[in-house]
Amino acid sequence: MLMAQKRRWKKRLYQIFFLLILPIFLFVWIRSWISPTIQDRLSYQARVLAVAAIHQTVTEELDRMGVTYHQMIRLTRDGTGRVTSLQTDAVLLNKIKSAVTEKAGEKLQGLSSHTLSIPLGSLTGLKFLSGRGPAITFRLHPEGVVITNLYHQFTQAGVNQTLHRVWLQIDAEISAVIPGFSMKTGVSTNIELGETVIVGEVPEFFGQIGLGAEDSTS
């Protein structure tokens, strides 16, 4: 009799344990199954929104400051008109970096009012369920600080011609969150600030104050 009771209690404990563990196991399995799909879809949507916001910020700031290539870069020519040197305006470049960094950060913070959604069927990874079912909504959260860097680039533009560009690189992080799940993705975009064509050889001297270099002439 006592042994039978022990067996019943043991069986009941196994049942309780199974009922408690099964939902946890299913949750972990489903989460690991759909996480890659969520990551891919949310990363893409978040980057599209963030890059659009950053580009809008840069355009607005450059228009407001009225910056042109020849204000950022001063060309020195010899008596024949050949460009002998390029010199950056470090003060102006720093102003551009500071203004864009501040305004881009504010613009990205404004994305916290945006939401991203994925249809439930799309999370399964099954094509016949893609786009179907109720939408799961994620809220965006910009994270960290915006990092900006300026660099220049020389590229071949034709016979005896070189195209010189000034670029602004902007990096940031953004995440999408729902209770029990969060996704973080990096956002990086390059925006051209100005360009000019140099006829003849590329000058040996370049005042690289405030600018990195990416030489693509070869």
CB 167 within 8 A of CB 193: yes
> Residue 115: its pLDDT value, please?
80
Cβ–Cβ < 8 Å for 168, 94: no
Q: What is the model's pLDDT at position 215?
A: 46
Number of domains observed in the structure of the chain: 1
What was the pLDDT predicted at 24? 60
Of 37, 50, 33, nearest in space to 136 by CA: 37
Mean pLDDT split into 10-residue runs, the chain, 218 residues: 61 65 54 66 84 92 90 84 81 91 90 78 66 77 83 82 90 79 84 87 56 52
Q: Which pLDDT score, from 0 to 100, does residue 214 have?
A: 58
| Full residue range of the structural domain in which residue 118 is found | 2-216
Q: What is the reported pLDDT for 167? A: 93
Q: What per-residue string of b and e applies to 125-145 under the rule 16 or more CB within 10 Å gives b?
A: eeeeeeeeeeebebebbbeee
